[in-house]
Each structure stands twice: as C-alpha cells, then as structure tokens.
Chains A and B, each alone.
Chain A
Amino acid sequence: MAAKVSDEMAARIWIFVVAVALSLSLPSFASSQDLQIVNAERRIDLSSHIVKAFLTLKVENIGKNPAADMLLAFPPTQIKHLSMVQALAVTGKKKKKAYLPLDVKPSEQPDAPNDTGYFLVTFATPLTPGETVTLEVLYILTHSLEPFPMEIAQSEAQLVYYRDSAVILSPYRIKQQTTYFKTPSTRVESFTSVEPANRAGKEIKYGPYDDRAPYSYAPVIVHFENNSPFAVVEELVREIEISHWGSIQITENYRLTHGGARHKGVFSRVDYQSRRSISGSSSFNGLLAVLPPRVNSVYYRDDIGNISTSHLRTGYKKSELEFEPRYPLFGGWRATFIIGYRVPLEDYLFEAPDGRRYLNFTFGCPLVETIVNKLTIKVVLPEGSKDPSAVLPFTVNQDLQVKYSYLDIVGRTVVVLQKDNVVPTHNVPFQVYYTFKPIYMLAEPFMLVSAFFFVFVASLAYVHIDLNIVKK
C-alpha cells in the first residue's frame, strides 16, 4: 500500500517538475496589459513650425513577467509627419540624474486599432514586476501646423491650426496625465475645451486627467498666431567631394519655400519697407547657415549670378553665414540658390585602426530651424577608392553612383544617402569608410607627365623623319 501511494506521488511530482521546468525554460515577457503608466506629462512646443513634444512617462510593471520593451502609439495623421523619436531613461534622483539613451524603432503591431502607428522602446534592463522607470521621450513633428486662413494678404498675421489629443494616445492605462501647449505669442484665437482646460499667457494646460483606459483619445484643435519663419527646403542636394591633395569641397543646391499661409493680393514694396512690423509679419528675408569653423572660399549664387547680400563670420567652433535671397519670401514663394565652401582635409578625414580611411562629417542641413523635405547627400570619393560603406545613427536610403571629374580615367565612386523629412536634430556626425592605396594618388601627375612626354616624342619624330622624295 505504501509503495503504491509513493509511486503515484512520485508520478505526480515528476509531472509537476516537468511542467515547472517547461514554463521556466520558455521565455515569457509581459503583454501590453502588464504595463501601466503611473504619471505622464507632455509638453508640446508650438513656437516654431517644427513641433517639438517632450513626454515624461513613469512606467510601472504590474504584471508577473519582466518587460523588455514598451510601445509608444501615435495617431495615423501624426505618424506621417513624425521626423524623429528619441527616448532616454532617467536614473538617479535630483542632483545625480543621469540620462541613458534607449533604442527606439518603428514597429508594426497586428491588432492596431484605426491604423495607429507604433514605436518600440527597448529598456536598458528588463523591467521586473513591481518596478517603475521614468522615461523621457522627445518626438518632432513637421508640417503639422496648418495655416488657417489658408491665404493671407501682406499686412495680416499668420494663424495656424494644431490638431492633437488632450489625452495621450497609449496602448496602456494612464493613471494621471497633463498636457501643456506652449504658443509663441499670447494671441490664441480658440482652443477646444476638454475639462479641465485653461490658458495662462502663452501656455494652455489640459488636465490633470485621471485613470484613462488604453487608446483613449480626445481630439483638440488649437488656433493661434505663429509668425515664426516657416522656412521649408523642398529639395537639398549636398555634394561632398574629397580630394586627397588637401581639401573637401562642399556644394549645396537649395530649393527654398515659405511653407506657411499663401500670399494673396499684391506685394507692395512701399508698405513692406515703411511698416515692417505690420507688413509681412510672417515673411522672412534672412536665413542663417552654420558652417564648419575653418571654412574658406564660400560662395553664394544662383542661376543669375553671384548674390552679394550675405555676411560670413568665421570663428573657432563654427562659422555663421547670414544670407538673404534676392527678395523676401512670402507664403508660397520660392527661391533657388547654391552655397559652396571648402574645408581642410585633416579636419574631416581620418584613418581607422584597421587601415581604412573614413570621412567624419555632419549629416543634415546647415540652415537653422528649417525642415528639409528631401535631402540627398553625395559623398564623392577620390579615384581608386574601393569598398565604400556608410555608418549612420538612423536609417537612410543608400546608393552608389559614378562621377567623372578632373583627370579621371575610371570615374569616382559616389555614395548617395537620401532621407526625407529632415529637421535640425538630425545634424549628427556620420562616417563613410573606404580603402585607398596612397600610390593611386600618383595616377594624376603621371597622366600629365605622359601628356607632355607625348608632345616631346611627337616633335622628336618630326625632326627625325625624312620626308624627302629624292635622296640628298
């Protein structure tokens, strides 16, 4: 009897052990119902035409499994205009706060309601059950301020709509949240009221809202005045030509527009110059480009010729080029121009420990507070370069082309990097690696030497050849 019971017990124990072993060996992480956001604060800066949103989230793991990542949700209208999403984990308190950058990737979820877009943020260490972590998320939206009225005369101010939600869209439950909108001036025509909402000076506060279910959304529209320059570069082609004889030549082709309310009616130069503060308040006539410190031979021209309305100030950390197009830009107007400059080679070309050479240059557009709709960067490598590859902190479209330039036989390899919707936050260094044997630099002078030698040999042949019909 005792033996039979112990057999049954042993079998039961074995089944239990196997079941526990199986459940422990399978990796199991939290589903979206296991995280909740204890506190969320969102500050949206509407001062310029590039909308910057700062989100502070305090995330708690209320499930039983550790959470390795979390999802950030965005409505489909915002996903199209989202230029950049960055996340930082805050560690430490008060004076000893440290910020740890986290990996953020766009992600597709199969059961997304109403075409919501997602970004997956991976935690530095998986969040254990019961633990909370504070995240700071920055995301940047372009082309999100819609001018209304869509056409304005010269003396009118520019009013724009900004559409968003008073409640943060999230796949998790949010216990408490507040949203602040910061406008550039105190003139706010209207804002949708979602209780409790109030406005104080340049700040509109929505909240605090308690205990909202996942995917709750309360659309609001803020109609306010924004006269900041809506400088949008429709297309920018930057060509960076590397010459191993000592310089890097950069040529930038711009197609600039004013992306705000379109200008209707006539343009009165008299009104514009006499009443500058009222007339053309949303127009801009000057732009600032930040160039590298040791820059020389800067030129600014367009199809007509050189444009002389520019000022260059060189400095130790950076150079600033203040330039003006030939006419002020009102809504819908365009200006096309070329800016070119030269920088010394040793500032930007380095040798890696494995023997390859690499160019360390800044991505993006040198103009401040400007959106670039389509950016193409072409890095022209010298003749004889092999195995080109580009390393960037974000995704771009890469391509290879061939360019024929001075004293070229086989052509120069061009690494083409293309990205849409670029904002000044994308001005970070990137590297282009390639291998190059220094002996190939002699190909150019020897081409010239052989050309001159051919001339001498031709004159020798002329002197030696006897063209007489009758032998003397």
Chain B
Amino acid sequence: MAATPIASPIAVAMYPTLSGITLAIGLIVTAFFFIYEATSSRKNRSLGMELSTAAAASLFLGFGSLFLLLASGVYV
C-alpha cells in the first residue's frame, strides 16, 4: 500500500519570510513604475517599458499578498 503523503509545494515555515521578500520587491518595482510615469514626458514614454514594469510589479505583489494571507492563517 504505497501511500505517499502530500505536502504543500513550499514549506509552510517559509511563508512569512517569502511574503516579506516578495512584497518588498513588488513595492520597489511599483515605485519604479510610478517614478517613470511621473518623470517622463509624453514623447519619451515607451509603452513596452510601462507594461513590463506593471507586469513584474503585479506578479510580485500578487504572490506576496498570497503568502501574506497564508502566513496569517487564512489558508485559501
């Protein structure tokens, strides 16, 4: 009777650390995005740069908020 236990793909003890790191990176990239928006003029703006920064920021912020929910006990 081969019954292998199934565990979470990421160790549960790592959730608080991971949430802190990913949220910090996500907030830094968000800062880059908004600084770029504020400092560039209509002519120098590049849509590709904006969208890629937005994508990276939302990726880190999304995973960071997931790990934050898991670390605080809301096992979604």
Q: Given A246-B75, A249-B75, A456-B54, are A445 and B66 neighbors across the interface (CB < 8 Å)?
A: yes
A247 to B33 alpha-carbon distance, docked (Å): 36
Q: Is the CB of B9 within 8 A of A438?
A: yes
Q: Does B20 contact A (CB under 8 A)?
A: no
Q: Is the CB of A297 within 8 A of B73?
A: yes
Q: Does B44 contact A (CB under 8 A)?
A: no
Q: Does A349 contact B (CB under 8 A)?
A: yes
Q: Is the CB of B4 within 8 A of A453?
A: no
Q: Is the CB of B58 within 8 A of A344?
A: no
Q: Is the CB of A460 within 8 A of B54?
A: yes
Specify the chain A residue showing the minimal Cβ separation from B5.
A346
Q: Does A323 contact B (CB under 8 A)?
A: no
A406 to B66 alpha-carbon distance, docked (Å): 11
A353 to B5 alpha-carbon distance, docked (Å): 12
Q: Is the CB of A349 within 8 A of B37?
A: no
We find that the number of chain A residues with CB closer than 8 angstroms to chain B is 39
Q: Does A452 contact B (CB under 8 A)?
A: yes
Which positions 34-55 of chain B face chain A at CB distance < 8 Å?
34, 37, 50-51, 54-55
Give min CB distance, A422 to chain B, whole Å. Answer: 26
A344 to B7 alpha-carbon distance, docked (Å): 8
Q: Is the CB of B7 within 8 A of A345?
A: yes
Q: Given A449-B63, A451-B62, are A245 and B75 neighbors across the interface (CB < 8 Å)?
A: yes
Specify the chain B residue showing the minimal Cβ separation from A451.
B62
In the complex, which residues of chain B have a beta carbon less than 8 angstroms from the beta carbon of A316? Answer: none
We find that the number of chain B residues with CB closer than 8 angstroms to chain A is 30
- The 0/1 profile, CB within 8 Å of B marked 1, for residues 100-141 of chain A is 000000000000000000000000000000000000000000
Q: Does A463 contact B (CB under 8 A)?
A: yes
A357, A406, A453: the one contacting B6 at CB < 8 Å is: A357
Q: Is the CB of A353 within 8 A of B76?
A: no
In the complex, which residues of chain B have a beta carbon less than 8 angstroms from the beta carbon of A451? Answer: 62
A351 to B6 alpha-carbon distance, docked (Å): 7
- The 0/1 profile, CB within 8 Å of B marked 1, for residues 453-466 of chain A is 10111011001000
Specify the chain B residue showing the minimal Cβ separation from A446.
B62
Specify the chain A residue showing the minimal Cβ separation from B53.
A456
A441 to B8 alpha-carbon distance, docked (Å): 10
In the complex, which residues of chain A have a beta carbon less than 8 angstroms from the beta carbon of B7? Answer: 246, 345-346
A247 to B70 alpha-carbon distance, docked (Å): 10
In the complex, which residues of chain B have a beta carbon less than 8 angstroms from the beta carbon of A346? Answer: 5-7
Give min CB distance, B41 to chain A, whole Å. Answer: 11
Give min CB distance, B67 to chain A, whole Å. Answer: 9
Q: Does A407 contact B (CB under 8 A)?
A: yes
Q: Does A47 contact B (CB under 8 A)?
A: no
Give min CB distance, A444 to chain B, whole Å. Answer: 6
A246, A441, A448: the one contacting B12 at CB < 8 Å is: A246
In the complex, which residues of chain B have a beta carbon less than 8 angstroms from the beta carbon of A357? Answer: 6
Q: Is the CB of A448 within 8 A of B62?
A: yes
Most buried by B among A351, A353, A357, A460: A460
B2, B50, B55, B63: the one contacting A453 at CB < 8 Å is: B55
Q: Is the CB of A449 within 8 A of B54?
A: no
A441 to B10 alpha-carbon distance, docked (Å): 12
A297 to B58 alpha-carbon distance, docked (Å): 32
Which positions 334-374 of chain A face chain B at CB distance < 8 Å?
344-347, 349-353, 357, 360
A455 to B57 alpha-carbon distance, docked (Å): 11
Q: Is the CB of B2 within 8 A of A353?
A: yes
Specify the chain A residue showing the minimal Cβ separation from B69.
A406
Give min CB distance, A172 to chain B, whole Å. Answer: 40
Which positions 262-301 of chain A face chain B at CB distance < 8 Å?
297
Most buried by A among B2, B7, B59, B76: B76
Give min CB distance, B68 to chain A, whole Å. Answer: 10
Please name 26 pairs of A and B residues whose Cβ atoms are closer than 8 Å in the assembled complex, sorted by A. A244-B6, A244-B8, A245-B12, A245-B70, A246-B7, A246-B12, A249-B75, A297-B73, A345-B8, A346-B5, A349-B6, A350-B3, A350-B4, A350-B6, A351-B4, A360-B3, A444-B66, A444-B76, A449-B58, A449-B61, A452-B58, A452-B62, A453-B58, A457-B54, A460-B37, A460-B54
Add 20 more A-B contacts to A246-B12, A344-B12, A407-B76 (CB < 8 A): A241-B75, A244-B8, A245-B70, A246-B75, A249-B75, A345-B8, A350-B5, A351-B5, A353-B2, A357-B6, A406-B74, A438-B9, A452-B61, A452-B62, A456-B33, A456-B58, A457-B54, A460-B37, A460-B50, A460-B54
The interface of chain B, by Cβ under 8 A from chain A, is: 2-9, 12, 33-34, 37, 50-51, 54-55, 57-59, 61-63, 65-66, 69-70, 73-76
Interface pairs A-B: 8 shortest CB-CB: A449-B62, A456-B54, A246-B8, A452-B58, A243-B75, A453-B58, A448-B62, A246-B12
